[in-house]
Amino acid sequence: MARYQYFYTCPQCGTHLEFKMRVTQTKRRCPQCGWRIYPEEIDRQAEARVLARRARERKALPYAIAIAVGALLFCIISAFLSSR
Ligand SMILES: [Zn+2]
């Protein structure tokens, strides 16, 4: 199982960060530019990643169907040819 992590991209400088905890007692800042890191922003980015993944899956679905239909046709044709 993957480690439980929170990923964060600094909106100010684009640095990618990983957190083990969503919320800490101390205020966190970007190590590159000092941008204040809020848990709400971590949540927002996590949600955006889920939506992006769903959009990718929707885009990949027609290709998956085309491959399945192609494989089925190949089976039918090869069965037809071998039966002659
Ligand atoms: Zn930064």
What is the mean predicted confidence (pLDDT) over 18-42? 93
Picking from 11, 8, 36, the residue whose alpha carbon sits closest to that of residue 21 is 8
Q: How far is the CA of 9 from the centre of ligand 1 (A)?
A: 8
- Provide the number of structural domains found in the chain: 1
Please indicate, yes or no, if residue 1 is contained in any of the structural domains. no
Say what the pTM is: 0.65
Q: What backbone phi and psi angles, to 5 degrees, belong to 36?
A: -65, 130
Q: How far is the CA of 63 from the centre of ligand 1 (A)?
A: 38
Please indicate, yes or no, if residue 53 is contained in any of the structural domains. yes
Instruction: Please give the Cα distance from 3 to 65 (Å, whole number).
Output: 33
Question: Which range of residues forms the domain containing residue 62?
Answer: 6-83
Please indicate, yes or no, if residue 60 is contained in any of the structural domains. yes
The 10s digit of each residue's pLDDT in 42-76 is: 999 999 999 999 999 999 999 999 999 999 999 99
Q: How far is the CA of 34 from the centre of ligand 1 (A)?
A: 6
Q: How far is the CA of 20 from the centre of ligand 1 (A)?
A: 18
pLDDT at 2 over 80: no
Please indicate, yes or no, if residue 75 is contained in any of the structural domains. yes
What is the mean predicted confidence (pLDDT) over 9-29? 93
